[in-house]
Amino acid sequence: MIRYATLGGAQLFVGAAAIFARFALGGAGPVAVSYLRLLIAALIVVTLAAFRSQSRRWLGSRRETALAIAGVALAVHFAGWIASLEFTSIAIATLLVCTSPIFTGIYEAIVRRHVPSLTFALAIISGGAGLILAVMQHTTPAPIPGHAWLGAFLATLGAIAMSVYLTIVRSVRSDLETLAIIARTYAWAAIVLAMLALVIHENPPALTDRSAWFGIIAMALISQLLGHTAMNVSLHWFTPTTVGFATLLEPVIAAILAAVIFREALAGTTLAGAILLFTAIALAIRDQVAQEQSGAGDPSTPLRFAED
């Protein structure tokens, strides 16, 4: 029973990230919210890494540089996705940011010249149609209404950035433990976002803004550290394929929580688009699983596609 509770709890904690982000955005801009969330998480994982010789050792210039670039991609992922919550609904933003498997598959097809399968072709068609339908109409206005397409773009940018992050990490991880990777990528992402927030004059929320700080701290401790730790622990009991498909629950959880807490409702066309996007993500994950089973990929890489 504990294994199912761990996997289910991981989906709940990660799925709630958008809810926490909406609270945080009430007191600060998306870049400030992103860097504060990552800063808190980075301080914790870097401290833990400092006590492990394997995590704190120098990895060589090539891998250190690659992980720094991955950290920049992670910064773009968080800033894009959190900013999208100002322009579109929580359900759509969370669903779109989970489409990174589609972009990972496109990279494999173009750069590594893997011939796309029929399954992946169907994923692309379903994803494109779903994207159009999902942003055509909303019955509940976003915090900044009238910019649904901008919200969709920012969330999709977050998904693309996550696919870049995963591709880079996958290429250099070999014998690296997870703590060594996230200590570097979280730290670089926090640094990049802190510098950007300074340049564009996005300040942290006031210390008296309890709602905003609750959202930021909850994202860092509950969604990022607790949620993703539980996700990795689940890999001891479940296959990467099972964990990968379980992440499809995250947009559903986010939509339910948004409806209950923020009274967000979705139009019929939006629901139809969400179903098509959901189908596209499932097909893309299934295609990647098939590639790994045939020897085209690295079966040891967890099918974890979002860092929300």
pLDDT at 304: 46
What pLDDT does residue 83 have? 95
307 inside domain: no
Q: Is residue 305 part of a domain?
A: no
Instruction: Answer yes or no: is 108 within a domain.
Output: yes
Q: What is the pLDDT of residue 232?
A: 67
Q: Are 213 and 28 in contact (CB under 8 A)?
A: no
In a domain, 91, yes or no: yes
Do the domain assignments include residue 173? Answer: yes
Residue 160 lies in a domain: yes
C-alpha–C-alpha distance, residues 162 and 157, integer Å: 9
Which residue range(s) make up the domain with 275? 2-293
Q: Quick check: is 253 in a domain?
A: yes
User: Does residue 161 lie within any of the structural domains?
Assistant: yes
The whole model's pTM is what?
A: 0.82
Q: Which residues contact 226 (CB under 8 A, 6 or more apart)?
A: 13
> pLDDT digit of tens for each residue in the chain (308 aa)?
788 788 888 889 988 999 999 999 999 999 999 999 999 999 999 999 888 877 777 778 888 999 999 999 999 999 999 999 988 888 888 888 888 878 887 887 777 666 667 777 787 788 778 777 766 655 455 555 557 788 889 999 999 998 899 888 888 877 788 788 888 999 999 999 999 999 999 999 999 999 999 999 999 999 988 888 787 677 667 765 566 667 777 888 888 888 889 887 766 776 787 788 778 777 777 776 676 666 554 444 444 444 56
What's the structural domain count of the chain?
A: 1
pLDDT of residue 20: 96
CA distance 74 to 27: 23
